[in-house]
Amino acid sequence: MHQDNGTSDHSTFLGYIFWIFGFIGLHRFYFGKPISGAIWALTLGLLFIGWIIDLFLIPDMTDEATQRFPGGKYDYNLTWILLVVLGVFGVHRFYQGKILTGVLYLVTLGLCGLGVLYDLFTLNRQIADANLAD
């Protein structure tokens, strides 16, 4: 899904899907908020209270992420889905054209999960950089 207007394609719908797992902070990582995502992961969404509040904040998080991260050749939604579903196999890295690290993830199960954790924190920036390079 290429966007000509230069804005990202973060999806409110996908944000809500990831919110279902919000007590581990997945939606916050998706919207480019890795620090609060980590806090949510360590505190079960601040004891589920912050998780419920986020239900109402997701539309604003979508708008903020759309403005922060440039769109382009690589689709944020697809890349995030690939990370969440097949991250330990490096499929999201193959999609981004990072063949070497894709193979490395494939044979090490995402560097024993540490690479996948790294990607949770940095995936939006990786996609933005790749989109700006094209």
Six-digit token pair at 107?
């044979």
Report the C-alpha gap between 27 and 133 in whole angstroms: 26
As a whole-number percent, the residues of the chain with pLDDT over 70 amount to 95
Six-digit token pair at 68?
């922060």
* pTM score, whole prediction: 0.92
pLDDT in tens, 26-43: 999 999 999 999 999 999
Instruction: Look at residues 54, 82, 58 and name the one whose alpha carbon lies nearest to residue 10.
Output: 58
pLDDT in tens, 64-110: 999 999 999 999 999 999 999 999 999 999 999 999 999 999 999 99
Q: Where are the domains of the chain?
A: 12-133
